[in-house]
């Protein structure tokens, strides 16, 4: 790749014997390419990207010998003319040709006829006004996708493309097309019929679609008409469509007469960015095959109770009706309701018994009746985020009804509490998002008996109280995010049988914890025995913790592998707190006020004492420190996955494998006990930077496996070479001594 290198010429034979499969030379002031530039790549190069240079013409002399070339991209150059002979030598290989964003204004006869294998042709963003009638007269016969968006075409080139029998996608968006053919006018070529999957006519100047507009299409599955100033649509013209996408419609309501001529093949309707205000009763009764309906970005004030019912008879009661719900599986009304609609339109949704996806997000819904979704037994995904809902009633979501529900989004609402049995027995639920609400408390058994729940997000609320057993029987929970709340403490007894079948991560960073006190319930289980948690990763960073009571971490001592306590106010690290974590792999105490360390802090950290696998210096170099303030390159194969952005919204914890890392950076340490790391034979990374250290004791690191030692920003007066034993020095990859007093 040569990108933005100010390359003005290419050397002949420069790439010979490289065997390149793909070559990109882009964003350079390159007016021409010598004929010998690609010598040596004749039998290896499949893809050639020459975008955004200053090529004045197709570099035909330099590419004609590339026998294997399948993709040629000439986007963003200054090519104003093309000729059939430009593609000589590529006849048997080229499948994709991109000429977008050049200055083509016309195409010659048989411009691409000598490319029989061409499948995709992109000429978007040029100045094409029209086509010679014989442009595609002799092919390419296999062309299936033709992109002509953002040109200056004033009509659809029916005659020119009619010979492309395999054409399935035609993109004419962003042109100046103002009309399609009418039955009362003489078409360009009688009998021309196209069979397309997708026709894009969005963002043209079409105002009317009278009968006969689509007479040249035998099959047309998806049509995009959004962004046109449509005033009149005769629905009979699109009887055989499977999908139609419209926007900026002048009409403000949808009723049964609007779809009376639609065919049974119609599966998708999108009417977006319009001014719809009313969905009339039985609006969709004539589109019995409808599966997807998107009414986003509208101003709907009323959804009549029977909007999704279709009349089939005159008998009384429900027996006289059938339901469009027999087919509709997808409904989106995101940002689609008027501000006057404050409640979920539950009565209107009742007929949608097969609905699997429902999106009512980004509205101003403030209430949700308990029975809002009781008839939607097949619902899998429900999006209610960005509304003004203040409560989820007990019984709104029930295991016996919503056994298929997998994802539930309630973020960015006004919920103030989660009461007992609000979310219970939802056997298929995997993700539950309650972040960025106003929740202040979580009551006992609020989240209970959800066997498949993997992610529970309560981030960004105002939670200050969590009752015992608030989270009960969530065996597969992988992530519980309680960051950015107002917790002053946390009792591990709030979790009963949580994450026992998963690598459970608990994030309580950015709260208001000052001291972590032992709670009696945390020390005894329900049967009176010692309480154990299954937390693998615990994040308590970015609080104001100055003291951790002895025994506070005891419930998770045998399970925890990664412990984050950075950016707090701790003053020391003792064996009573950290000395009995046999599986600890990663300890972060950076950014505290620690001035002293007990010599036996890691007394029983058995995992850190295991012998590490050998170092392989040829592995990928990557950053392994979680803080953005520290960037470390190391050659360890184990470090490749261990990048983390602590403090970011989407914290990504390292994979739980052996990677012994200890961080004491940004503290107040003046000395290190000589025995501190003596027994930790598998240490890989130690960060002691930004402290007040004047020296490091001799023999501080004795065993092999040590890869990185950072002691920058201290007060060292000499290189601490004696702190490394022979074995440790042999495996060390990096030592950072910058910003010290070493003369």
Dump pLDDT digits (tens) for 460-473. 999 999 999 999 99
Residue 609 lies in a domain: yes
Residues near 662 by Cβ (< 8 Å), separated by ≥ 6?
587, 589, 677, 680, 683, 685, 686, 687
* End-to-end Cα separation, the chain, in angstroms: 43
Is 215 within 8 Å of 240 (Cβ atoms)?
no
207: confidence class by pLDDT, cuts 50, 70, 90: confident
Residue ranges making up the domain that contains 642 = 561-743
Q: What pLDDT does residue 336 have?
A: 95
Q: Which of the given ranges, 5-9, 622-626, 729-733, has the highest pLDDT on average?
A: 729-733
User: pLDDT digits over 500-553, tens only?
Assistant: 888 999 999 999 999 998 876 555 554 445 668 899 999 999 999 999 998 899
Q: Is the pLDDT of residue 185 over 70?
A: no
572-to-420, 546, 565, 593, 667 alpha-carbon distances in Å = 40, 9, 12, 8, 10
Q: Is the pLDDT of residue 381 over 80?
A: yes
Task: Tell which wins on pLDDT, 6 or 388.
Answer: 388
The per-residue pLDDT of the chain, averaged, comes to 84
Residue 446 lies in a domain: no
User: pLDDT digits over 324-356, tens only?
Assistant: 556 899 999 999 999 999 999 999 999 999 999
User: pLDDT digits over 388-403, tens only?
Assistant: 999 999 999 999 999 9
Average of pLDDT values for 590-618?
66
Q: Is the pLDDT of residue 21 over 60?
A: yes
Q: What pLDDT does residue 658 have?
A: 44
Residue 648 lies in a domain: yes
238: confidence class by pLDDT, cuts 50, 70, 90: low
Q: Is the pLDDT of residue 234 over 60?
A: no
Residue 421 lies in a domain: no
Q: What pLDDT does residue 635 have?
A: 32
Three-state SS string over 353-414 comes to CCCCEEECCCCCCCECCCCCCCCCCCCCEEECCCCCCCCCCCCCCCCCCCCCCCEEECCCCC
Q: What pLDDT does residue 316 have?
A: 39
In this structure, of 97-101, 581-585, 640-644, the range with the lowest mean pLDDT score is 640-644
Average of pLDDT values for 12-33?
82
Residue 60 phi, psi (nearest 5): -65, -35
User: pLDDT digits over 118-129, tens only?
Assistant: 999 999 999 999
Q: What pLDDT does residue 226 have?
A: 82
Q: How many domains does the chain have?
A: 1
Q: Is the pLDDT of residue 441 over 50?
A: yes
Q: What pLDDT does residue 315 have?
A: 35
Average of pLDDT values for 232-251?
68
Residue 163 lies in a domain: no
Count other C-beta atoms under 10 Å from residue 637's C-beta: 16
In this structure, of 301-315, 437-451, 682-696, the range with the lowest mean pLDDT score is 301-315
Q: Is the pLDDT of residue 63 over 50?
A: yes
Angle at CA of residue 682, ends 585 and 715, nearest 5°: 90
Residue 469 lies in a domain: no
Q: What pLDDT does residue 604 have?
A: 65
Residue 334 lies in a domain: no
Is 241 within 8 Å of 199 (Cβ atoms)?
no
Q: Quote the CA–CA distance of 573 and 576 in Å, as a whole number.
A: 9
Is 54 within 8 Å of 33 (Cβ atoms)?
no
84: confidence class by pLDDT, cuts 50, 70, 90: very high
Is 299 within 8 Å of 323 (Cβ atoms)?
no
**What is the β-pairing status of strands 622-623 and 633-634?**
antiparallel
CATH code, 743 = 3.80.10.10
Task: Tell which wins on pLDDT, 617 or 689.
Answer: 689
476: confidence class by pLDDT, cuts 50, 70, 90: very high
Q: Which of the given ranges, 225-229, 492-496, 528-532, has the highest pLDDT on average?
A: 492-496
Residue 182 lies in a domain: no
Q: Is the pLDDT of residue 233 over 90?
A: no
Average of pLDDT values for 135-144?
90
Is 392 within 8 Å of 367 (Cβ atoms)?
no
Task: Tell which wins on pLDDT, 286 or 657.
Answer: 286
184: confidence class by pLDDT, cuts 50, 70, 90: very low
What percent of the chain shows pLDDT beyond 90? 59
CB under 8 A, 24+ apart: contacts of 216-224: 216/156, 216/158, 216/162, 216/181, 216/187, 216/192, 217/193, 218/193, 218/194, 219/195, 220/194, 220/195, 220/196, 221/196, 221/197, 222/197, 222/198, 222/268, 223/198, 223/199, 224/173, 224/198, 224/199, 224/200
Q: Is the pLDDT of residue 607 over 60?
A: no
Whether a cis peptide bond, with omega within 30° of 0, leads into 547 is no
In this structure, of 133-147, 288-302, 513-527, 690-704, the range with the lowest mean pLDDT score is 513-527
Q: What pLDDT does residue 625 have?
A: 31
Three-state SS string over 246-280 comes to EECCCCCEECHHHHCCCCCCCCEEEEECCCCCEEC
The single residue listed with the structure tokens 């290989």 is 93
β-bridge partners, 632: none
Three-state SS string over 462-524 comes to CCCEECCCCEEEECCCCEEECCCCCCCCCCHHHEEEECCCCCEEEECCCCCCCEECCCHHHHC
Q: What pLDDT does residue 324 have?
A: 57
Is 157 within 8 Å of 133 (Cβ atoms)?
no
Q: What pLDDT does residue 9 have?
A: 58
Q: Is the pLDDT of residue 739 over 80?
A: yes
Q: What pLDDT does residue 314 have?
A: 34
Q: b vs e for 257-276, b when ≥16 Cβ sit within 10 Å of the residue's Cβ? A: ebbeebbeebbbbbbbebeb
């Amino acid at each position: 790749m040569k990108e933005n290198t100010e390359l003005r010429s290419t050397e002949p034979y420069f790439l010979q014997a490289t065997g390149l499969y793909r070559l990109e030379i882009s964003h350079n002031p390159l007016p021409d390419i010598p004929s010998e530039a690609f010598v040596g790549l004749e039998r290896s190069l499949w893809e050639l990207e020459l975008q955004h240079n200053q090529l004045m013409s197709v570099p035909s002399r330099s590419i004609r010998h590339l026998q294997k070339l399948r993709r040629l991209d000439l986007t963003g150059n200054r090519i104003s003319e093309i000729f059939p002979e430009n593609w000589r030598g590529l006849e048997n290989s080229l499948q994709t040709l991109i000429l977008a964003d050049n200055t083509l204004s016309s195409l010659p006869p048989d411009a691409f006829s000598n490319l029989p294998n061409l499948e995709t042709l992109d000429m978007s963003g040029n100045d094409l006004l029209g086509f010679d009638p014989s442009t595609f007269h002799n092919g390419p016969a296999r062309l299936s996708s033709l992109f002509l968006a953002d040109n200056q075409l004033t009509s659809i080139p029916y005659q020119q493309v009619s010979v492309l029998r395999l054409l399935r996608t035609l993109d004419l968006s962003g042109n100046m097309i103002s009309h399609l053919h009418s039955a009362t006018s003489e078409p360009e070529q009688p009998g021309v019929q196209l069979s397309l999957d997708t026709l894009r006519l969005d963002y043209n100047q079409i105002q009317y679609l009278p009968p006969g507009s689509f007479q040249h299409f035998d099959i047309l599955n998806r049509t995009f008409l959004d962004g046109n100033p449509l005033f009149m649509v005769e629905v009979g013209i699109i009887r055989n469509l499977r999908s139609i996408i419209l926007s900026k419609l002048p009409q403000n309501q949808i009723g049964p007469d609007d779809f009376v001529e639609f065919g049974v093949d119609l599966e998708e309707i999108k009417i977006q960015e319009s001014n719809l205000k009313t969905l009339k009763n039985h609006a969709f009764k004539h589109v019995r095959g409808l599966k997807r309906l998107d009414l986003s970005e509208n101003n709907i004030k009323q959804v009549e109770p029977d909007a999704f019912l279709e009349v089939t008879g005159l008998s009384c009661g429900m027996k006289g009706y059938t339901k469009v719900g027999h087919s509709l599986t997808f409904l989106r009304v995101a940002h689609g309701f008027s501000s006057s609609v404050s409640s979920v339109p539950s009565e209107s949704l009742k007929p949608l018994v097969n609905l699997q996806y429902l999106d009512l997000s980004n509205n101003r819904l403030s209430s949700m009746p308990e029975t809002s979704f009781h008839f939607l037994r097949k619902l899998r995904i429900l999006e209610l985020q960005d509304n003004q809902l203040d409560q989820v009633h007990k019984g709104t979501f029930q295991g016996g009804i919503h056994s298929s529900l997998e994802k539930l989004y309630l973020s960015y609402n006004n919920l103030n509490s989660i009461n007992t049995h609000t979310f219970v027995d939802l056997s298929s639920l995997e993700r539950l998002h309650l972040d960025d609400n106003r929740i202040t408390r979580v009551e006992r058994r609020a989240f209970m008996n959800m066997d498949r729940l993997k992610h529970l997000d309560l981030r960004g609320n105002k939670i200050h109280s969590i009752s015992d057993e608030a989270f009960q029987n969530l065996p597969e929970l992988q992530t519980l995010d309680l960051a950015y709340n107002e917790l002053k403490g946390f009792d591990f007894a709030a979790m009963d049988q949580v994450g026992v079948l998963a690598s459970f991560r608990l994030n309580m960073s950015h709260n208001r914890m000052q001291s972590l006190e032992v709670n009696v319930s945390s020390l005894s289980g329900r049967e009176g025995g010692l309480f154990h948690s299954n937390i693998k990763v615990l994040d308590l960073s970015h609080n104001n913790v100055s003291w951790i009571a002895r025994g506070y971490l005891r419930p998770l001592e045998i399970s925890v592998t990664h412990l984050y306590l950075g950016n707090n106010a701790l003053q020391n690290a003792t064996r009573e707190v950290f000395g009995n974590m046999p599986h600890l792999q990663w300890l972060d105490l950076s950014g505290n006020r620690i001035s002293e360390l007990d010599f036996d802090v890691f007394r029983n950290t058995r995992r850190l004492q295991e012998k590490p696998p050998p170092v392989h210096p040829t592995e990928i170099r990557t950053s392994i420190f979680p803080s953005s303030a520290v960037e470390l390159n190391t050659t360890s194969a184990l470090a490749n996955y261990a990048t983390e952005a602590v403090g970011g919204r989407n914290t990504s914890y390292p994979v739980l494998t052996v990677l012994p890392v200890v961080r004491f950076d940004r503290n107040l340490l003046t000395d290190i006990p000589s025995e501190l790391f003596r027994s930790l034979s598998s240490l890989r990374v130690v960060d002691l930077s930004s402290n007040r250290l004047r020296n490091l004791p001799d023999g501080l690191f004795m065993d092999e496996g040590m890869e990185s030692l950072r002691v920058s920003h201290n007060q060292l007066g000499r290189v601490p070479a004696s702190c490394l034993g022979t074995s440790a020095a042999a495996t060390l990859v990096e030592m950072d001594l910058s910003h010290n007093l070493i003369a």
